[in-house]
């Protein structure tokens, strides 16, 4: 996996969560070779509401000429404390965004030739 950086904030390091991130990042980079790197930040920020902690995942996916930023909080989700659900949703969102950019780049290349 090229250029993967993982940070944990307000949560202890978890080998299981890191494994999940590495697995999802590998899948994403295998789908889109133009990805130059991924930075993942996960945490359970301190939250003063009565809802408890909210799983937070942010991703930065580097591509030539741009960075795709994804921030995913589980605010209104009943599974809001489940980091695995937050990771899945964030990487799904990243895949959709990167896929749109990839498709635009392919279409642009086709029009030029």
pLDDT tier, 89 (very low <50, low <70, confident <90, very high otherwise): very high
- Residue 21: the pLDDT is 97
Q: Per CATH, which fold does 4-112 belong to?
A: Double Stranded RNA Binding Domain (3.30.160)
Question: Where exactly are the structural domains of the chain?
Answer: 4-112
Element (H, E) at 101: helix 83-112
Residue 51: phi, psi to the nearest 5? Answer: -80, -15
| pLDDT digit string, tens, across residues 16-65 | 999 999 999 999 999 999 999 999 999 987 654 545 667 899 999 999 99
Structure tokens at 67: 């960075």
């Amino acid at each position: 996996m090229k250029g993967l950086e993982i940070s944990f904030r307000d949560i202890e390091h978890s080998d299981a969560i890191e494994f999940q991130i590495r697995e999802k990042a590998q899948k994403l980079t295998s789908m889109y070779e133009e990805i130059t790197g991924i930075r993942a930040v996960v945490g359970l920020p301190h939250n003063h509401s009565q809802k408890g902690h909210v799983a937070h995942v942010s991703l930065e996916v580097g591509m030539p000429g741009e960075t795709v930023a994804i921030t995913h909080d589980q605010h209104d989700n009943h599974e809001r404390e489940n980091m695995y659900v937050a990771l899945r949703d964030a990487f799904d969102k990243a895949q959709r965004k990167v896929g749109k950019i990839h498709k635009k780049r392919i279409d642009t290349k086709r029009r030029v030739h």
